[in-house]
Structures are given as C-alpha cells and as structure tokens.
C-alpha cells in the first residue's frame, strides 16, 4: 500500500478554489483506487486466514498427537488451530489489512466531504462572503507551483526515509 498524506489531501486552499475544483476529480479517483487496493488486500488476508485454518485443521486431524491432543473434538481442534503461530500471524495480517482499509475508506469519505465543502465555499464566494480587494491570478502558473511544491514534499519524504534506513 502506498503512503499518502491524507490530512494534506483533504485540506482546501480557499484562495484558489478554481484550482481546488480542478484537482478534486483526481483526488476522488486517487482515493477510490486506494480504497479498492486496501479492500483487495483485506480480502486476500481474509482468504489467507481461512486457508491457514483449513491447512491446520487437516494437519491436526491427521496427526493429533503431534499437537498434544489425546481426543479429537471439534472444539479441541479449533482451540489448537488458534494457538498455532502461522494462524496467529495470518490473523494479525488480516487485522492490519482491516485497519488499513478502515483508514483509507475514512480518507476516501473525507475527500468526498471535501467536494461538499468546495461546493459550499464556491456558493459563499458567489455571495461575496470572501469579498475584498483582489488581484486575479494566473491559474496555469498556480497549478504549476502547487505541483512543484508537492513534488518537493514527496522528494523530501523519500530522502528522509532513505536517511532513516541508512541509520538503522
């Protein structure tokens, strides 16, 4: 799963609402894709838990003494399964994937709420809520500058991670 700065992505710069509107569909798609990827990872982790459970069930029933069982009952088999390291690891991977999915889904909902906020801010702007002396800006130049800032932030983040790995 790729990292993303959710807080930065949902922030609205009220001084450039036109640019924010132009970027909104890209943000919506980005988070739809991240949500789908997180859901896919969650589904795969769930399948892995079920696979490990089935494998262990079969192994335990084949050789119960290897697992310290005298009598094979449904409850005893299930209790033995959940104590096995490979099941615990698969279960933890599932819980991690579920947590990640919940975070990404929440971010996706926040991006959708951002759209509503943009709509309302544009309405307020239309009612001259933000009225004051202003000089029109060059939308192309503003988008270019914002893209450069984002690229710089990404480069700095990558450099920081590389330095951290070097120290380890």
Backbone phi and psi for residue 83, each to the nearest 5 degrees, phi listed first: -95, -10
In the chain, where the domains are located:
6-133, 135-168
List, for residues 89-125, the tens digit of each pLDDT value.
999 999 999 999 999 999 999 999 999 999 998 888 8
What does each of the 168 residues of the chain score in pLDDT, given as a tens digit?
Answer: 445 588 889 899 988 988 999 999 999 999 999 999 999 999 999 999 999 999 999 999 999 999 998 889 999 999 999 999 999 999 999 999 999 999 999 999 999 999 999 999 888 888 877 666 666 677 788 888 888 888 887 777 777 766 766 776
- Nearest C-alpha neighbor of 13 from the set 113, 108, 118, 124: 118
What b-and-e string marks burial along 7-23, b requiring 16 or more CB atoms within 10 Å of the CB? eebbeeeeebbebbeeb
How many Cα neighbours within 13 Å face the side chain of 157?
10
Residues 6+ apart with CB under 8 A from 32: 108
In the three-class reduction of DSSP (H, G, I as helix; E, B as strand; rest coil), residue 68 is classed as coil
- What integer pLDDT is reported at residue 138 of this predicted model? 78
Gyration radius (Cα) of the chain, Å: 25
- What integer pLDDT is reported at residue 1 of this predicted model? 41
- What integer pLDDT is reported at residue 86 of this predicted model? 97
CA quadruple 113, 100, 95, 166: dihedral, nearest 10: -160
Global confidence as pTM: 0.69
Residues 6+ apart with CB under 8 A from 71: 64
What b-and-e string marks burial along 122-159, b requiring 16 or more CB atoms within 10 Å of the CB? eeeeeeeeeeeeeeeeeeeebeeeeeeeeeeeeeeeee
């Amino acid at each position: 799963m790729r990292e993303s700065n959710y807080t930065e992505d949902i922030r609205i710069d009220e001084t450039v609402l036109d640019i924010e509107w132009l970027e909104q569909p890209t943000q919506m798609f980005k988070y739809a894709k991240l949500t789908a990827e997180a859901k896919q990872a969650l589904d795969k982790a769930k399948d892995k838990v079920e696979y490990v459970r089935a494998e262990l069930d079969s192994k335990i029933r084949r050789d119960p003494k290897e697992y310290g069982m005298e009598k094979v009952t449904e409850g005893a088999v299930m209790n033995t399964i959940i104590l096995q390291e490979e099941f615990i690891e698969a279960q933890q991977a599932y819980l991690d994937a579920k947590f990640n999915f919940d975070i990404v889904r929440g971010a996706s909902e926040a991006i959708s709420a951002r759209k509503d906020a943009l709509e309302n801010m544009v309405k307020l702007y239309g009612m001259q809520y933000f009225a004051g002396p202003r000089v029109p800006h060059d939308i192309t130049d503003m988008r270019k500058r914002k893209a450069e800032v984002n690229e710089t932030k990404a480069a700095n983040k990558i450099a920081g991670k590389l330095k951290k790995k070097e120290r380890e």
